[in-house]
């Protein structure tokens, strides 16, 4: 019934680095050519932890979109938008909050973890507790069935599935659902309408799936049904409640194999990152200073790539023949570390040159970026409005 739709968001809290590129963005690039994709700037999410420095968020919104575009995210394939410009997310979040048990949120692992880890801010706020539910609203409002996330975010998608199930259970039953369905079936004409009811009974009472298939085929072929009627009758046939919200699946993004300059995970807060559009001199310096296998104290000491933080970078950037040159040269001490890093430095800076070239037209005219986002917001909002109509109706909020 629903087309395959991918949704993902990113917090605008700083310039993106090579870890984002090799971990998340390259994945987005392959998804955008395969599925309908929606990618958004999660500015409200950023405020759940940066409410005391909102300028960090506003200063990074456009820059982050430029990083996406520089990486090759294509606005003619994917819909790019900003969360706060689609206020329906907030409405859905509010409505979902009515029926969300507190315990479900308190049990989300990131809640306790982050509260313990982030000690320089007071995170015992309502917004912080509710942030996984806001994420559920982000996903459910587009009826997205695929959510590319890292391992740490999988529990949030799991929560979203539970929220959707609970919503459909509580609100998916319309009092007059059967009556509406019977009304709709009359449009098929007396004979076919009777047949449909008969087939439905065969399926519901005897589990006869061929009756179900036959009935579905009849509905599929009927010219005088609207799409809504047809959808209603499909739900009616299966004797099920209406599925207002769709349960999404996580698409696990493997951890970026690109570590930071110190061998730990690349992260702005560890100070071991290389920004996507970093100044070339600064990148060269950082890579030259990067630590290597501690066993290679002197130039003549043989080393082992497995113990060297430079090696995983080579594995991402270098071709097989230069990888064997590194392994051979390192273990036999026939090359020095700087020599080993030189081709890598070229590859990294070439890649960055490409990012900078791609970014240039957007940096020079922010209006282009803003237009891309305006278009995306409009498209996203259309989809969000459709879901909200159904949500309001199913909760009895359609009196006006
Ligand atoms: N919570 C995600 C993060 O912190 C960002 C995010 C917000 C998101 N809403 C989303 C990701 C919906 C996927 C789907 O990284
Ligand atoms: Fe690392 Fe290369 Fe030096 Fe070996 S030669 S320790 S792989 S930088």
Together in a domain, 114 and 133: yes
204 and 120 belong to one structural domain: no
Per-residue pLDDT, averaged over 267-296, amounts to 95
- Choose the residue to mutate in 25, 38, 41, 45 for probing ligand 1, maximizing ligand atoms within 8 Å of C-beta: 45
| 101 CA → ligand 1 middle, Å | 21
Same domain, 349 and 379: no
- Asked if 128 and 200 sit in the same domain, the reply is no
Residue 230 half-sphere exposure toward CB, CA atoms < 13 A:
13
Instruction: Decide whether any atom of ligand 2 lies within 6 Å of the 71 Cβ.
Output: no
CA of 109 relative to ligand 1 center, distance in Å: 15
Of 195, 218, 238, the position where a domain reaches its end is: 238
- 3-state DSSP of the chain: CCCCEEEEEECCCCCCEHHHHHHHHHHHHHHHHHCEEEEEECHHHHHHHHCCCHHHHHHHHHHHHHHHHHHCCCCCCEEEEEHHHCCHHHHHHHHHHHCCCHHHHHCCHHHHHHHHHCCCCCCCCHHHHHHHHHHHHHHHCCCCCEEEECHHHHHHHHHHHHHHHHHHHHHCCCCCHHHHHHHHHHCCCHHHHHHHHHHHHHHHHHCCHHHHHHHHHHHHHCCCCCHHHHHHHHHHHCCCCCCCCCCCEEEECCCCCCECCCCCECCHHHCCCCECCCCHHHHHHHHHHCCCCCCCCCCCCCCCHHHCCHHHHHHHHCCHHHHHHHHHHHHCCCCCHHHHHHHHHHHHHHHHHHHHHHHHHHHHCHHHHHHHHHHHHHHHHHHHHHHHHHHHHHCCCCCC
Average pLDDT estimate for 91-101: 97
Pocket test for ligand 2, best of 263, 301, 311, 344 (most atoms within 8 A of CB): 311
The better pLDDT of the pair 225, 61 is held by: 61
Beta carbon of 344 within 6 Å of any ligand 1 atom = no
Q: What is the dihedral of CA 386, 387, 393, 396, to 10 degrees?
A: -140
Would 400 be classed as within a structural domain? no
Say yes or no: CB of residue 337 within 6 Å of ligand 2: yes
Same domain, 316 and 277: yes
87-101, 105-119, 200-214, 267-281, range with the lowest pLDDT: 200-214
Residues 42 and 88 in one domain: yes
Predicted local distance difference test score (pLDDT) of residue 233: 87
Cα(59) to ligand 1 centroid in Å equals 19
In a shared domain, residues 160 and 97: yes
Has residue 1 got a pLDDT over 60?
no
Percent of the chain with pLDDT over 90: 73
- Alpha carbon 123 to chain centroid, angstroms: 24
Asked if residue 31 has pLDDT above 60, the reply is yes
The finding on whether 8 has its CB within 6 A of some atom of ligand 1 is yes
Tell me, yes or no, whether 261 lies in a domain: no
CA dihedral 383, 386, 388, 393 (to 10 degrees): -170
CA gap 43, 85 in Å, rounded = 10
Give the C-alpha separation, 142 to 136, whole Å: 10
Expressed as residue numbers, the domain containing 82 is 5-172+365-394
pLDDT tens, residue by residue, 330-381: 999 999 999 999 999 999 999 999 999 999 999 999 999 999 999 999 999 9
| Cα 130 to ligand 1 centre (Å) | 13
Closest of 192, 201, 150 to residue 20, by C-alpha:
150
Cβ of 147 below 6 Å from ligand 1: yes
* Residue 65 C-alpha from the chain's centroid: 15
User: Is position 263 within any domain?
Assistant: no
Q: Residue 46: is its pLDDT beyond 80?
A: yes
Residue 219 and residue 340 share a domain: no
CATH number for 45: 3.40.50.620
Q: In this model, does residue 175 exceed pLDDT 70? A: no
CA of 28 from ligand 2 middle (Å) equals 32
Average pLDDT over residues 152-161: 95
Better pLDDT: 118 or 345 = 345
Dist. CA 111–CA 98, nearest whole Å: 20
If one compares 65 and 223, the residue with the highest pLDDT of the two is 65
- Which ligand 2 atom sits closest to the C-alpha of 341? 8
251 occurs within a structural domain: no
Per the domain annotation, does 286 fall within a domain?
Answer: yes
Give the Å distances, CA to CA, from 85 to 81, 88, 279, 371, 375.
8, 9, 32, 13, 11
The closest ligand to the CA of 336 turns out to be 2
Which residues 6+ apart lie within 8 Å of 358 measured at CB? 69, 70, 71, 72
Mean pLDDT of 141-159: 95
Give 360 Cα–ligand 2 centroid separation in angstroms.
Answer: 34
Q: Is 41 left (phi over 0), alpha (psi -120 to 50) or beta?
A: beta
Crossing angle (nearest 10°) for helices 26-34 and 54-71: 60
User: Residues 91, 204: one domain?
Assistant: no
pLDDT at 148: 96
Phi, psi of 68 (to 5 degrees): -60, -50
pLDDT per residue as tens digits for the range 314-335: 999 999 999 999 999 999 999 9
* Residue to mutate (ligand 2; options 288, 329, 330; most atoms within 8 A of CB): 330
**Is there a domain that residue 52 lies in?**
yes
Q: What is the pLDDT of residue 340?
A: 98
Residue 234 lies in a domain: yes
pLDDT above 70 as % of the chain: 97
Task: State the average pLDDT for the chain.
Answer: 93
Ligand 2 geometric centre to CA of 19 (Å): 21
CA of 222 to the centre of ligand 1 (A): 41
Q: Ligand 2: which atom is nearest the Cα of residue 329?
A: 5
Q: Are residues 24 and 121 in the same domain?
A: yes
**Closest atom, ligand 1, to C-alpha of 156:** 1
User: Is there a domain that residue 246 lies in?
Assistant: no
Q: 113 falls in which pLDDT band (50, 70, 90)?
A: confident
CB of 49 shorter than 6 A to ligand 1? no
Q: Do 182 and 141 belong to one domain? A: no
Atom of ligand 1 nearest to the CA of 10: 5
Domain count, the chain: 3
Q: Is 376 in the pocket of ligand 2 (CB under 6 A)?
A: no
Verify whether ligand 1 is closer than 6 Å to residue 46 (CB atom).
no
Q: Whole-model pTM?
A: 0.84
pLDDT band at 240 (very low <50, low <70, confident <90, very high): low
Nearest ligand to the C-alpha of residue 110?
A: 1
User: Is the minimum distance from the CB of 330 to ligand 2 under 6 angstroms?
Assistant: yes
Identify the sign of the CA torsion 183, 188, 194, 198.
Answer: negative
- Give the domain CATH number at 326: 1.10.240.10
Looking at the fold, whether 320 and 373 belong to one and the same domain comes out as no
Average pLDDT over residues 116-127: 89
Is 397 a residue whose pLDDT tops 60? Answer: yes
Q: What is the dihedral of CA 365, 7, 139, 22, to 10 degrees?
A: -90
């Amino acid at each position: 019934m629903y087309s395959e739709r991918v949704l993902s968001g990113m917090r605008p809290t700083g310039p993106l680095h090579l870890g984002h590129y090799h971990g998340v963005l390259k994945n987005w690039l392959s998804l955008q050519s395969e599925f309908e994709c929606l990618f958004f700037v999660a500015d409200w999410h950023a405020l759940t932890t940066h409410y005391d420095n909102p300028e960090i968020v506003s200063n990074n919104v456009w820059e982050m979109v430029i990083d996406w575009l520089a990486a090759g995210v294509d606005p003619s394939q994917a819909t790019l938008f900003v969360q706060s410009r689609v206020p329906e997310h907030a409405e859905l979040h509010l409505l979902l909050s009515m029926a969300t048990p507190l315990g479900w949120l308190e049990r989300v692992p990131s809640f306790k973890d982050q509260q313990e880890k982030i000690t320089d801010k007071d995170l015992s706020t309502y917004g912080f507790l509710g942030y996984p539910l806001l994420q559920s609203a982000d996903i459910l409002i587009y009826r997205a069935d695929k959510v590319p996330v890292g391992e740490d975010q999988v529990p949030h998608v799991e929560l979203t599935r539970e929220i959707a199930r609970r919503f459909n259970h509580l609100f998916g039953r319309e009092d007059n659902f059967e009556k509406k369905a019977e009304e709709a079936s009359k449009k098929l004409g007396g004979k076919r309408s009777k047949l449909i009811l008969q087939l439905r009974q065969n399926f519901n009472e005897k589990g006869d799936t061929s009756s179900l298939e036959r009935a579905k085929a009849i509905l599929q072929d009927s010219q005088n049904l609207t799409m809504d009627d047809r959808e209603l009758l499909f739900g009616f046939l299966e004797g099920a409640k209406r599925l207002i919200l769709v349960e999404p699946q996580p698409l696990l993004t493997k951890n970026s194999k690109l570590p930071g300059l110190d061998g730990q995970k690349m992260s702005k807060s560890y100070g071991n990152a290389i920004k996507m559009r970093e100044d070339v001199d600064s990148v060269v310096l950082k890579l030259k200073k990067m630590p290597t296998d501690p066993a290679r104290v002197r130039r003549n000491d043989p080393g082992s790539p497995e113990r060297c933080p430079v090696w995983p970078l080579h594995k991402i950037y270098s071709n097989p023949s230069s990888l064997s040159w590194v392994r051979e040269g390192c273990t036999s001490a026939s090359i020095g570390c700087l020599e080993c890093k030189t081709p890598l430095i070229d590859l990294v800076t070439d890649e960055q040159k490409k990012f900078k070239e791609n970014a240039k037209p957007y940096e020079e005219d922010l209006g282009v970026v803003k237009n891309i986002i305006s278009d995306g917001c409009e498209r996203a909002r259309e989809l969000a409005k459709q879901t909200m109509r159904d949500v309001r109706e199913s909760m009895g909020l359609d009196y006006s």
